Structure formats: structure tokens, C-alpha cells
Structure 1
Amino acid sequence: MESPYAGYFERVADAVRAKLTPEIKQAILEIKNAVPQDQKVKGIEVYQAVIRDGIRGYAGFMEWKKGKEEQMIVEWIP
């Protein structure tokens, strides 16, 4: 029986890649580089915050993340 996620992650990666502009790439990298080593953040959360919700900067990302339920798999495709 095939997994319900078969091909899902590839579709997400393709959709994210299609949305990347130099400005969005820069925002994603700035947030990822600002995350302290001892803190766990899912990359997909950063992409979602920046691409979908227009978040810019680490402080904005941490505010965006507050109150969001921790999920094993974030089901979102831009």
C-alpha cells in the first residue's frame, strides 16, 4: 500500500522553488541563520512564514510561531 505522502515532499519542494525570488531567498536565509544552534525550527515553517505570510526577520518569525501547534508534518504547499 502506497503512503499518503508518496510524492508529497517532492511537490512541496517544486512549489517552494517556483516561489523563490532573490528577496524571498534572502529573508529565508536571514531567519535560518538567526536561529540559535540549540533551538529546533522546521525549515518548512520558515518557508511558510516567509512565502505565505510575508514574515521578514527572526523576531517576526518567532512572533509568527507563537501559539502555533507543533506538528510532525506541516501540510502546506505554496
Structure 2
Amino acid sequence: MAAHRDVDLHVYSKGITIESSFATAAKIAANPNVVETKCINGLHTDEHCVAWHFLYRYGGELWQFDVIHIEEQTRYDGFFEKMADRIVEVMTPEQRDTILRLKFEAPADADWHGVEYYEAVIADGIADLSGLTRWIEVHRKKPPYYWIP
């Protein structure tokens, strides 16, 4: 949330349907400060989720809220919370400072994922913005995967 105002929320439910997820999202989108809503239907993938991206205007600035609606008892139930716990366990104070600095130095229009900062710094020792930019360019050419330290 430094240069890019982005909040990720994971919501776990049993028996998610696209209809029930849309009904919930409609309640969020009814807020007049929500200026854009996007949906990615991943219910028929191994992720078993519906990803919602809401742009919310507050104080003249846009915030992005990513609400990932994940089916309980599937592969990713609790996965990202385990990832976060593991990052906290292994990250040194110096790595934390580097990650925070890079998040503030990143261009406001950079579409970089939070986990990319963590993996680049913790796993690969990236320490500056030019290194992070190169790391992300190379990393995104690889097949997608979820990293846990």
C-alpha cells in the first residue's frame, strides 16, 4: 500500500456459485465510491475461486480492493495465509526494510504483485529498484507458480 493503494482480502465459503458471488459483489458495487468492478471466474480451475477487483475512490485517490472468494476445503484454502506466516518467519529486519523501501520507490503505475517484492528480496537478494524491475521482467516469463519461502 505504499505507492500502489491495494488491499487483498481472501474470503472462504462452502458451495460458491457464480450467482452467489455476484450477489455479494453487487452489494459492494452499490457503494457510490466504487467506480469499477471486475470479475475473474476461476471456479472451473484448480484455484476454485472468483476474483473480484473493485476500484474505490477515497479522498481523491483510487484504492484497489482485490476480494478473492475461495472455495473451502480446496487446494488454496488457507494457502496464502500460510505464505504470509512463512514470510514473517524467515524475513530479516533488513529484508523487511528493503521491501518497504522498494514499495515506496515503485512507480505508482507499476502493476507489481506484493509477493514479487518478497520473493525477489528474500529468495534472490534484490536490493534496488532497477534490480527489482529486471527481476520482475524475467520472473514473469516463467510459468506461473505460487512461492512460499
TM-score (norm 1): 0.86
Q: Is the CA contact (8 Å cut-off) linking 1:28 and 1:50 kept in structure 2?
A: yes
Amino acid at match of 2:129: Y
Of Structure 1 and Structure 2, the greater helix share is in 1
* Aligned alpha-carbon RMSD (Å): 2.0
Q: Which runs of 4+ in 1 moved over 2 A?
A: 67-71
Q: Could you tell me which residue of structure 2 aligns to residue 2 of structure 1?
A: 73
Q: Could you tell me which residue of structure 2 aligns to residue 40 of structure 1?
A: 111
Say whether residues 1:15 and 2:86 are aligned partners: yes
User: Whose Rg is larger?
Assistant: 2
- Report deviation, 1:54: 0.7
Name the CA shift for 1:47/1:76 in 2 (closer, same or farther; >3 Å). Answer: same
Amino acid at match of 2:118: Y
Say whether residues 1:65 and 2:139 are aligned partners: no
Name the CA shift for 1:70/1:32 in 2 (closer, same or farther; >3 Å). Answer: farther
The runs of 5 or more residues in structure 2 that have no matched partner are 1-71
Of Structure 1 and Structure 2, the greater strand share is in 2
- Report deviation, 1:67: 2.9
- Report deviation, 1:68: 2.7
The runs of 5 or more residues in structure 1 that have no matched partner are none
Q: Could you tell me which residue of structure 1 aligns to residue 124 of structure 2?
A: 53
Amino acid at match of 1:13: A
How many angstroms apart in 1 are the aligned matches of 2:120 and 2:134? 10
SS at structure 1 position matched to 2:100? helix
- Report deviation, 1:74: 4.5
Question: What's the % identity of the aligned pairs?
Answer: 36
- Report deviation, 1:33: 0.7
